[in-house]
């Protein structure tokens, strides 16, 4: 399965926003781009899609930035994919020919399994552990 860069970047940036959830601080594009090694000009487009899909909120101006619209436990990987790359969720095969119906059923099963798996993973599952590595001398 080929994962689009857009989905990967969206997941990484949302995980970064998840780390701030529940605080009053908003994340700025430059901070997010640097933390997740995502090109800032591409990140702007992704953030707009995430905002339009109601996964994040934004505030304009000097004190502005981005934040999650819901808790990381409430946002599933399926929610992210549906907003950023909904074609990934479509697996339709034609039912023509003798094998067509069976092939279509097989792909429908794969699609159902993928959908179930995506719903079972939350943003919280993709967030980095804040404990960090401790080094003692």
Q: What is the pLDDT of residues 68-98, one digit of tens each?
A: 999 999 999 999 999 999 888 887 788 888 8
CATH 1.10.10.10 fits 5-126, yes or no: yes
Q: Write 93-98 long-range contacts (CB < 8 A, 24+).
A: none
Compute the half-sphere exposure of residue 109: CA atoms within 13 Å on the CB side of its CA. Answer: 6
pTM: 0.86
pLDDT at 130: 65
Domain spans of the chain, in order of start = 5-126
| Contact yes or no for 22/11 (Cβ under 8 A) | no
Which bin fits 132, alpha (ψ -120 to 50), beta or left (φ > 0)? left
pLDDT at 85: 93
| Contact yes or no for 92/107 (Cβ under 8 A) | yes
Pairwise CA distance, residues 7 & 14, whole Å:
10
DSSP string across 44-110: HHHHHHHHHTTSEEEE-STT-EEEESS-TTT-BHHHHHHHH-GGGG-------TTTHHHHHHHHHHH
pLDDT at 135: 43
Q: What is the pLDDT along the chain (137 residues), one digit of tens a residue?
A: 778 999 999 999 999 999 999 898 999 999 999 999 999 999 999 999 999 999 999 999 888 899 999 999 999 999 999 999 988 888 778 888 889 899 999 999 999 999 999 999 999 999 977 655 444 44
* Residue 68: strand pairing partners: 56
Pairwise CA distance, residues 9 & 85, whole Å:
12
pLDDT at 87: 87
């Amino acid at each position: 399965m080929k994962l689009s860069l857009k989905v990967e970047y969206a997941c990484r940036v949302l995980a970064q926003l998840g780390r701030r959830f529940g605080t009053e601080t908003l994340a700025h594009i430059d901070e997010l781009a640097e933390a997740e090694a995502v090109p800032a000009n591409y990140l702007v487009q992704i953030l707009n899609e995430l905002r339009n899909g109601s996964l994040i909120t934004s505030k304009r101006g000097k004190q502005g930035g981005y934040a999650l619209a819901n808790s990381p436990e409430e946002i599933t990987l399926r929610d992210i994919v549906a907003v950023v790359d909904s074609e990934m969720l479509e697996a339709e095969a034609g039912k023509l020919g003798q094998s067509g119906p069976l092939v279509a059923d097989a792909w429908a099963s794969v699609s159902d399994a993928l959908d179930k798996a995506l719903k079972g993973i939350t943003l919280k599952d993709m967030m980095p552990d804040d404990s960090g590595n401790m080094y003692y001398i």
